[in-house]
Amino acid sequence: MTVTLGLVALGAALATVWFGLVRGSNVDVDPAIGQALGGVGAETAKAPSPAARPTSVPTETCPGPVAAAAPEDPALDWNEEGFELLAEGDLEGAIERFEAASALWPEVDVYANNLAEALFRSAKARWDEDAKGALERLDRALEVLRDEGRRGELTPLRDRWRRARDAEDGFWTESSPYFAVSFDGSRSELMDNVTAVLTDLDTFYGEFGEFFGRRPVEERGNKIRVVFYRRAAFDQVTGLGDWAGGVFDGTIRVPVGSFAQERERLRTVLRHELMHAFIQHIGGGNAPAWLNEGLAQWIERPGQGRQLDVALARGRLRGQTLFPLTELRGSLAAWSDKDAIARAYAQALVLVDHLVFTKGERLLVELVAASNERSPTGPEQCFLTRFPGFPLQEFADTIPR
């Protein structure tokens, strides 16, 4: 999210809600599949073992012939198959298996919650191409979900999707190899300049692809969606105020008044939000705020513009106590003190710039990749591995002001 607080750009990355998936009766949770943003709760319900399952046969109260062993319950196998299909990206197959397991044992919360997870992922995957179908899937996920905490996370998402669908009804879309840009087609100024915007975006994409050595569109197979709104519609969709210059929530969303007057600002905002898209893809949504926002600010204005931004950020930090990195891990958008937010973003920018100046740009790429949940190390451990005996916190304490 690009936000102006004084002279510092404020940003926020995508927040994604996941459910905890449970495999069979052994409660084996795959962190790549079942981890919720901010961590999955330590306790999850177990799928019932065959011995614990109810039966429609009454309990015998008198001696009788020895009963044959109960047949294997297929729900366990369906649940396991659904888990594996979900890990492979076969969302429809996973939904079918979880639906069958939940239909056989409707009282088992695990099966219902796994079905809700698969439905949610399916909704998220189709949102950019089929908003109506995505909302139907999300409604179904909420219908079957048994976890009230997760319901509290998904309900606002559904409301935001509905606002976006209503605000974007009838929007025109123009595409390039990497982007799909949508806007109100009655706005002739945007219609006349959308080709130039797509050219800018494709150029930025190529630059960032060279920087990271990775390209999300080619790896995911989906174009990056960009939506331009009038300010009132942007506020309605995002729930943000007039201070927000843009946001990335899986889609790059930007308010535009006069295209001619805001042309350079738009280039800056699009670079910032596109960097968030790269970091989200490569870092798995786990990059700490100081790295996510610091790098997004650092990339906004190359050359002299960057030098000016860093100088202003240093000035903001002069005479101030720096935040420990432990306080700059989560989203800074949740902070309420505007002065503290501005200092946090300034610190993030100066830290990233100092890392580049003293250690080189390639280190930033390594730190983002180390943020991925599948990586055995985080950015701090990655830095310590590269520079033994020199913790990242110690380096951060030495940034110039």
Query: 161-184: per-residue pLDDT in tens?
Result: 999 998 998 899 999 999 999 999
- Per CATH, the number for 17-37+74-168 is 1.25.40
Q: How far is CA 310 from CA 22, 267, 270, 293, 295, in A?
A: 47, 18, 19, 13, 12
CATH tag for 2-15+176-396 (out of 1.10.390.10, 3.40.50.300, 3.40.50.720, 3.40.50.510): 1.10.390.10
Whether pLDDT at 12 is above 90:
no
Tell me the mean pLDDT in the region 373-390.
90
Q: What integer pLDDT is reported at residue 243 of this predicted model? A: 63
Residues 6+ apart with CB under 8 A from 283: 292, 368, 369, 371, 372
Residues 6+ apart with CB under 8 A from 323: 343, 344, 347
Whether pLDDT at 36 is above 90:
no
Tell me the mean pLDDT in the region 218-231.
93
Whether pLDDT at 188 is above 70:
yes
Query: If we measure between CA atoms, which residue out of 233, 232, 234, 257 comes closest to residue 246?
Result: 234
Tell me the mean pLDDT in the region 258-263.
92
Q: What integer pLDDT is reported at residue 266 of this predicted model? A: 96
Tell me the mean pLDDT in the region 56-84.
64
Q: What integer pLDDT is reported at residue 317 of this predicted model? A: 97
Tell me the mean pLDDT in the region 382-390.
95
Q: What are phi and psi of 378, to 5 degrees?
A: -95, 180
Residues 6+ apart with CB under 8 A from 346: 8, 312, 313, 314, 316, 317
**Radius of gyration from C-alpha coordinates of the chain:** 24
Whether pLDDT at 148 is above 50:
yes
Per domain, the residue ranges of the chain are 2-15+176-396, 17-37+74-168
Q: What is the DSSP letter of 245?
A: E
* 309-326 tens-digit pLDDT: 999 999 999 999 999 999
User: For the chain, what percent of residues have pLDDT higher than 90?
Assistant: 67
- The residue that leads in pLDDT, 40 or 117, is 117
Query: If we measure between CA atoms, which residue out of 172, 85, 90, 152 comes closest to residue 125?
Result: 90
Mean pLDDT for the chain?
A: 83
Tell me how crowded residue 154 is: count the other CB atoms within 10 A of its CB: 20
Q: What integer pLDDT is reported at residue 49 of this predicted model? A: 38
Whether pLDDT at 114 is above 70:
yes
**d(Cα 374, Cα 27) in Å, to the nearest integer?**
20
Question: pLDDT grade, residue 144 (50/70/90)?
Answer: very high
Tell me the mean pLDDT in the region 216-234.
93
User: For the chain, what percent of residues have pLDDT higher than 70?
Assistant: 82
Tell me the mean pLDDT in the region 278-300.
95
Question: pLDDT grade, residue 2 (50/70/90)?
Answer: low
2-15+176-396 and 17-37+74-168 in the same fold: no
Tell me how crowded residue 313 is: count the other CB atoms within 10 A of its CB: 27
**d(Cα 24, Cα 111) in Å, to the nearest integer?**
9
Q: What integer pLDDT is reported at residue 43 of this predicted model? A: 30
